A and B are shown apart, each in its own frame.
Chain A
Amino acid sequence: MSSVALLLSPLWLTWKNSFLRGARPWTRRLSLALLAGMFWFGTYLVLRRVLRYFETVHELGPALAYQLLLIILLTFLSMLLFSNLVAALSTYFLARDLELIHAAPVAPNGFFFARLIATTINSSWMVLFFSLPIFAAYGSVFGGGIRLYLWVAILLPLFLLIPAAVGALVTHLLVYAMPAKRIRDLLFFIGLFAFLIMYFLFRFSQPERLVQPESFGNFMQFLSAMETPSSPYLPSSWLAEILAGTLFKRDTEPGFFFALLASYAMFLPLAASWCSSAVYLDGWSKAQESRQERRKLVWLDRLLDFLTRPFPAITRAVMLKDIKTFLRDTTQWSQLFLLAALIVVYLYNFKVLPLDRSPMPAGTLRTVVAFANLGLAGFVLSAIAIRFAFPAVSLEGKAFWLLQTAPISLRALLWSKFWLNFVPLFFLGELLIFCSNLLLKVPGWMMTLSLITMFLMTFGIVAIGIGLGALYPNFNYENAAEIPTSFGGAVCMIFSIGFIGIAVMIVAWPIYTLALRAFQRGRIFLPEYSVIAPPLLIVLALTVVTVAVALRVGIKHLERLKD
């Protein structure tokens, strides 16, 4: 067995044993597979629908589809670059088995290439999974036949290998220059910053202009701009060029672009391997030495102390511990930047909505959009709850025994986590609704109804997150980011969306009634506002039941852990 295959054997043995001998029941695996299949098929159907629509736009259709392919591949490339940087840092310098491997007489080259393959697999499988329905949708709409799939099979491994080799190369140089544990933080910020810039650029460049050709001088100018890749030096553009030749029957030079892709896919791993042989030992040695210094923030301690004063002493201790660990974990709190970006983009979308150009009366349309906004904001809130509330119990990790043996009831523990998540989510939800409704200029009754509904929904969303987080705890996580993406996370998302859907449907009736009266008569009389009360009471009852059931299910499961 070659040394590369040998070094990779624990990886595939782990997969094999987890699959065949894992503790997870088959029913759960099947539902997970079903969920993944539905997502896969959903992506395929949605993209096929979009591409079919593009196809109906004569002459411009293939150009639009090509631009979309470029954007998709560029997004994949940037995601791959970042995830490979992080994965390479873990696999080469921070993995727990490195001591075992380095104490054995392993050839450095074999080690480098085995870890490169592991890095590529770790960081690319998701892109590979989601790219397949995309290529399938393109193939089904624009043809290309077996040639397209052959190209995809040959080109994708090359395309995935390039960012992996770049990630390994850059990681080796970074670790050589500085301690590894700080690099992980650094990389996180670089990635976050890059993501925010990309997100803002994409949003503020207003891609909706692409469907308004009148903004270009003439049609030919527009068409030519659409058929040219914006960044010809990127591997994503080379891949798009080759596929475009097969898909859109365009006169490209697939041989040239294939040679470019293949030569870089061969050269970059070799360059990274050469660099690794020169700097790895120093970098690996440094990676074990890094120590971080922390400044003590007295004012923050005082502020937290003041804010948690209303709670009982034990609950307060748990809350303070949770807040401090959250603030000291860069990967946790820096997600707030992402959140801020999402809020800005979310609200910006409402600002640019062309409501006045719609054939519907503006007032009615605003109410309809505000109603949809209630569901959307709820969805945003549940996505955030899954990221923060769902992992709350799991984050106790291997120190959970400390709470189990302390004189604190599980009920008090879950409630402390509930309030800790409820307060920020409450402010966020209300802010989203208030600002977006302000931008939409909705009537006062709609604003009030939306704010109250969102207030009630926040209780349910947070309780579902905490309760199901306790039902599916993962105390042995290697990386906190893996908790929300687990099976339990998916179940939590489904329940959360179900709860929001029911709550929004309940308030749909008064909204419909009042909007109709306003449209028919131009005004609403005071007694008519009473239609708001019964549905709100029903939402209140639904929320109380949801909170009680979700937390009880979580507590019961945590109690069973003691059996």
Chain B
Amino acid sequence: MIQIHNLTKCYGKLAAVDNLNLQVARGEIFGFLGPNGAGKTTTIRCMMGILKATAGKVLLDGHDVVGAAQQAKAISGFIPDRPFIYEKLSGSEFLNFVGKLHRVDAARLSKRIAELLEHLELTPWQDELVESYSHGMKQRLVVCGALIHEPRILVVDEPMVGMDPKGARTLKDLFCALAAGGTTVFLSTHSISVAEEICHRIGIIRKGRLISCGTMSEIHAQTDGRNGNLESAFLELTREQDLAVPAAQAL
């Protein structure tokens, strides 16, 4: 469903993403992990056609995100790490706008808006201006926007930031339900517990390169089974040689 071939993105001399190759199947939840500045968000932005790659190709359900941008975007939904919502629009007005951008027909759109608002517990707030929403409510509204057109691929960048435990639980259940229904979920996250809990496979990126990719047991196998959980495996794989000790001592 998602195919990334030799993806490279350079900022000047710095390669933020360096020759990345990845495939994600239909109905799979793929966790994309990496330390800060590893290249996760850059990869995602290239995947969504928001950033032009220096080299390589991204295909979403066979559609090239550059050559067939409209087709690729029509079947995908995106939840950015710092989402923008028009503050002076109400929740339902915002969803109505996003739905029309994705060409959802009018009759289906109003039904879909009601469903999503209900599911993410925003119905009582639908006519309030977004400026009066809490951070978590804004996050949930953005999720509604990304799902309004029933995308076949959902790309999510840091979804749990600022969510309360109940909101986070709702979201995790939602991703699982979507995957069970055949939607591919590409999830970039810092939260190892989230990845461990819901992802079928995990890719670990460091300095723009994919250093590890596979199921949980395959990742453990890469660290010779020394580590009992994903967190330890992640830390070992992404460890900066000799940097961690002096930093800890300084603290």
Q: How many residues of B contact A (CB 8 A)?
A: 31
Contact B70 A14 (CB under 8 A): no
Q: Assess whether B51 is interfacial by the CB under 8 Å rule.
A: yes
Q: Chain A CB within 10 Å — which of B11, B50, B80, B90 has the most?
A: B50
Q: A1-B100, A105-B103, A288-B51 are in contact. List 18 more A-B contacts (CB 8 A).
A: A6-B100, A7-B101, A9-B97, A13-B86, A13-B89, A13-B93, A14-B86, A17-B129, A96-B84, A103-B48, A103-B49, A103-B78, A103-B80, A105-B70, A105-B71, A105-B101, A105-B102, A285-B52
Partner pick for B98 among A14, A100, A102, A107, CB 8 A cutoff? A100
Q: How many residues of A contact B (CB 8 A)?
A: 27
* B90, closest chain A residue (CB): A17
Known: A17-B90, A104-B73. A97 touches B52 (CB 8 A): no
Partner pick for B88 among A6, A17, A104, A281, CB 8 A cutoff? A17
Report B-chain residues with C-beta under 8 Å of the C-beta of A6.
97, 100-101
Q: Assess whether A332 is interfacial by the CB under 8 Å rule.
A: no
Partner pick for B74 among A96, A99, A105, CB 8 A cutoff? A105
Contact A289 B11 (CB under 8 A): yes
Q: Assess whether A291 is interfacial by the CB under 8 Å rule.
A: yes
Contact B89 A99 (CB under 8 A): no
Report A-chain residues with C-beta under 8 Å of the C-beta of B78.
103
* A19, closest chain B residue (CB): B88
Report A-chain residues with C-beta under 8 Å of the C-beta of B90.
17
Report A-chain residues with C-beta under 8 Å of the C-beta of B49.
102-103
A-B contact count (CB 8 A): 74
A-B pairs with beta carbons under 8 Å apart, 18 shown = A6-B100, A9-B97, A10-B97, A13-B89, A13-B93, A100-B145, A101-B101, A103-B50, A103-B73, A103-B78, A103-B80, A105-B69, A105-B70, A106-B70, A282-B52, A288-B45, A288-B51, A291-B11
Q: How far is the CA of A311 from the CA of B56 in the complex (A)?
A: 58
Q: Assess whether A295 is interfacial by the CB under 8 Å rule.
A: no
Q: Assess whether A21 is interfacial by the CB under 8 Å rule.
A: yes
Binding site for A on B (CB under 8 A): 11, 45, 48-52, 66, 69-71, 73-74, 76, 78, 80, 83-84, 86, 88-90, 93, 97-98, 100-103, 129, 145
Report A-chain residues with C-beta under 8 Å of the C-beta of B11.
289, 291
* B130, closest chain A residue (CB): A17
Produce 1/0 per residue, A85-126, CB < 8 A to B.
Answer: 000000000001101111111110000000000000000000
Report B-chain residues with C-beta under 8 Å of the C-beta of A105.
69-71, 73-74, 101-103
Q: Assess whether A18 is interfacial by the CB under 8 Å rule.
A: yes
Partner pick for B50 among A97, A102, A106, A291, CB 8 A cutoff? A102
Known: A100-B84, A285-B51. A10 touches B98 (CB 8 A): no
Q: How far is the CA of A289 from the CA of B83 in the complex (A)?
A: 18
* A100, closest chain B residue (CB): B84
Nearest Cβ in chain B — how far from A98, in angstroms?
8
Q: How far is the CA of A107 from the CA of B11 in the complex (A)?
A: 28
Q: How far is the CA of A107 from the CA of B70 in the complex (A)?
A: 8
Q: How far is the CA of A100 from the CA of B130 in the complex (A)?
A: 16
Contact B52 A10 (CB under 8 A): no
Report A-chain residues with C-beta under 8 Å of the C-beta of B71.
105
Report B-chain residues with C-beta under 8 Å of the C-beta of A288.
45, 50-51
Nearest Cβ in chain B — how far from A289, in angstroms?
5
Partner pick for A104 among B66, B89, B93, B102, CB 8 A cutoff? B102
